[in-house]
Every structure is written in structure tokens, then in C-alpha cells.
Structure 1
């Protein structure tokens, strides 16, 4: 995965994260998108509505960066 320095992470706008309010799971490149999917269920203290919105951002970033998503919904993450 491409690591972001603390400074680079702090410079990202909120829209660059799957969970913008919490600034969790950046979506800057394909590696970050794959990592956001893998860690999706590890994000704590978020509502289902926030997860729905985060999944939509992940899907858009996946399409942008050419990442294939097998899951149709965030509820399927980690089920296979």
C-alpha cells in the first residue's frame, strides 16, 4: 500500500476519505481503495447511513482507479 505521511493525510480534503467525518480510509489510489474495502468492518462508531455513503464513495473510487469489487454491498464485506 502507498503510505500517506501524516502531513499528506492532513492535506487531503474530507471528500478523499470513505468516512469523511472520521477522516478514515483514504481513497487516493487503487491500493487505498482495496485497503478501504479490506478494513471496512474495522471502522467503529459509524451508523449504517454513514456506511452506505462510504460504500458509494468506495465504489466511485474503485471505478476511477480500476479496482474490481466483488461485493454488491458493504454488508457482504468479509462474508466470503
Structure 2
């Protein structure tokens, strides 16, 4: 599955609340639309300098956003991403 990078200008990104990101402290992986949610899942394992606890919390935010935008997520945990 190819995931296209969702467009978000620096200005628009700066206007997002911290809670609009999978990783709010780092302001990484915005979740404000379906395209960004898909992108956050695809790029999840590329996020650097975060703890497993931060990944657990980010995964919960991603799952909630996926539900909001009616995106099916087959992985039950972020640890399952990329494993088949």
C-alpha cells in the first residue's frame, strides 16, 4: 500500500493544537484528517527519540482518530506494524 504524504503547510501545522498530533510533545504525525491518520500509521516506526510509553499513547490517539475518520486498522498494537 502506497501512502501519499498529506500536504500541510508550516503555518497550518503551527496552528494545530498539541492534541492534534500522535506525538504531541514532539508535534509529530498530525491526525486532523484521514490522509494524515493513514500517514501516521505508515510512518509510525520512523519516529525517533520517543519512549515506548509515548508510542503506546500515540497509538491510542491514532486508533481514536482512525475510528473518527472511519479508517480500518488491523493492527491491535503499534508493535504489529510492518509484520505480516
TM-score (norm 1): 0.97
Partner of 2:47: 43
Measure, in 2, the Cα distance between the counterparts of 1:78 and 1:48.
17
Query: Unaligned regions of 5+ residues in structure 2, if any?
Result: none
Q: CA deviation at 1:79?
A: 0.8
Structure 1 stretches of at least 4 aligned residues deviating more than 3 Å after TM superposition = none
1:13 to 17, 24, 27: 17
TM-score (norm 2): 0.92
Residues 1:23 and 2:32 aligned together: no
Q: CA deviation at 1:28?
A: 0.7
Considering only aligned residues, what root-mean-square deviation do their CA atoms show, in Å? 0.7
1:77 to 65, 76, 81: 81
Alignment length, in residue pairs? 80
